[in-house]
C-alpha cells in the first residue's frame, strides 16, 4: 500500500547546488507529475509525463528538468538551485493521462535553498 | 483565465456544528472537479471526483456537490479528526490531465 513514494523528505541546499528528487509509484500508473506548493498559492504543475518515454512542461518548469526512468519512476532535478525554489514538492500519478482521471499524491519533499 | 477560488480561507467549528466549504471555478470545458484533504506535513489525500452538474458523492460525514459554477463540500456533525486543509481542483478539457488548484480551506474542529 505504498502508493507514491518520494525521497528525500527534507533537504537543505545552498544556492547554486544541484539535487534530484526521486519518485516511485507502485500502482502501475501510466502518468506521473511533479507539483510544487507554496504558501498562499495552489499546487502548481512543474512537469508531467503522460506515459513512459514522454515528458512535457507544466505551468512552472523554469529551473527544473525531469526524467521518466521507467514506468514506475519519475525524477525531478534542480541543476542550480535558487532561493525561489524553496518549496514543498509533490510527486503524483494517475492511471491514465486524460483529463478527469484521479491524481494520487505522495507525501512531499520539503526543500530549502539558502 | 482558468481559476479556482475557495472560501472561506479558514473555518473554525465546534464539534457537531455542520457547515459547508465553497469552491467556485471558471474553467473551460470542465472534465472533473476534485476534492482532496491535506493534513499538516502530508500530501493531498483524494476524497471525491464530480463530473457533471447535479452530481453528489458522500463519504462518512462529507458530501460533495457540483453545479455549473461551484462545488460545495458539506461537513455534517464534524469531529476533531476532520480538522485539515481541504483542497479543490478542476480538470479542464484538453489532451492532458492538468489540475487547477484552489488555495484551500483550513478547517479546525474544536471538541
Looking at the complex, does the CB of residue A54 fall below 8 Å from at least one CB of chain B?
no
- Coil, strand or helix at A38: coil
How many CB atoms within 10 Å of residue A80? Answer: 11
- Coil, strand or helix at A67: strand
CA distance B47 to B86: 9
A74 within 8 A of A68, measured Cβ to Cβ:
yes
* A56 to chain B, closest Cα gap in Å: 10
**B101/A4 Cβ within 8 A:** no
Nearest CB among A40, A43, A94 relative to B97 is that of A94
H helices present in B1-111, as ranges: none
Looking at the complex, does the CB of residue A39 fall below 8 Å from at least one CB of chain B?
no
| Amino acid B60: pLDDT | 95
B104 within 8 A of B34, measured Cβ to Cβ:
no
Closest CA to B81 of B41, B62, B109: B109
CA distance A14 to A96: 37
Residue A43 has pLDDT above 90, yes or no: yes
Secondary structure in 3-state letters for B65-79: EECCCEEEEEECCCC
CA distance A35 to A53: 19
* A92 to chain B, closest Cα gap in Å: 9
Express each pLDDT in B21-52 by its tens digit: 999 999 888 999 999 999 999 999 999 999 99
Residue A19: its H or E element: strand A19-25
| Amino acid A69: pLDDT | 92
Block residue for cell numbers 527544473? A64
Residue A2 has pLDDT above 80, yes or no: no
Mean pLDDT of chain B: 95
Residue A109 has pLDDT above 80, yes or no: yes
Average pLDDT over residues A89-109: 93
* A4 to chain B, closest Cα gap in Å: 10
| Amino acid A93: pLDDT | 96
| Amino acid B4: pLDDT | 96
CA distance B92 to B107: 27
| Amino acid A1: pLDDT | 62
Q: Which of A29-33, A39-43, B18-22 has the lowest mean pLDDT?
A: A39-43
| Amino acid B98: pLDDT | 83
> How many Å separate Cα A101 from the centre of its chain?
18
| Amino acid B97: pLDDT | 78
Residue B85 has pLDDT above 90, yes or no: yes
Amino acid at each position: 500500500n505504498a502508493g507514491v513514494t518520494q525521497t528525500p523528505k527534507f533537504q537543505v541546499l545552498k544556492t547554486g547546488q544541484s539535487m534530484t528528487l526521486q519518485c516511485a509509484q507502485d500502482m502501475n500508473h501510466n502518468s506521473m507529475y511533479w507539483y510544487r506548493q507554496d504558501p498562499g498559492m495552489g499546487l502548481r504543475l512543474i512537469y508531467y509525463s503522460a506515459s513512459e518515454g514522454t515528458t512535457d512542461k507544466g505551468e512552472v518548469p523554469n529551473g527544473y528538468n525531469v526524467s521518466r526512468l521507467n514506468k514506475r519512476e519519475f525524477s525531478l532535478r534542480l541543476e542550480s538551485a535558487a532561493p525561489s525554489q524553496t518549496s514543498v514538492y509533490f510527486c503524483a500519478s494517475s492511471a491514465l493521462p486524460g483529463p478527469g482521471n484521479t491524481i494520487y499524491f505522495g507525501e512531499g519533499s520539503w526543500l530549502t535553498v539558502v | 483565465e482558468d481559476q479556482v477560488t475557495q472560501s472561506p480561507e479558514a473555518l473554525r467549528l465546534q464539534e457537531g456544528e455542520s457547515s459547508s466549504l465553497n469552491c467556485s471555478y471558471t474553467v473551460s470545458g470542465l472534465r472533473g472537479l476534485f476534492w482532496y484533504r491535506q493534513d499538516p506535513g502530508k500530501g493531498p489525500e483524494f476524497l471525491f471526483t464530480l463530473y457533471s452538474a447535479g452530481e453528489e458523492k458522500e463519504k462518512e460525514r462529507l458530501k460533495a456537490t457540483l453545479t455549473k459554477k461551484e462545488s460545495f463540500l458539506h461537513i455534517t456533525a464534524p469531529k476533531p479528526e476532520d480538522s485539515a486543509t481541504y483542497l479543490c481542483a478542476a480538470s479542464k478539457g484538453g489532451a492532458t490531465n492538468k489540475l487547477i488548484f484552489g488555495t484551500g480551506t483550513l478547517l479546525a474542529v474544536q471538541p
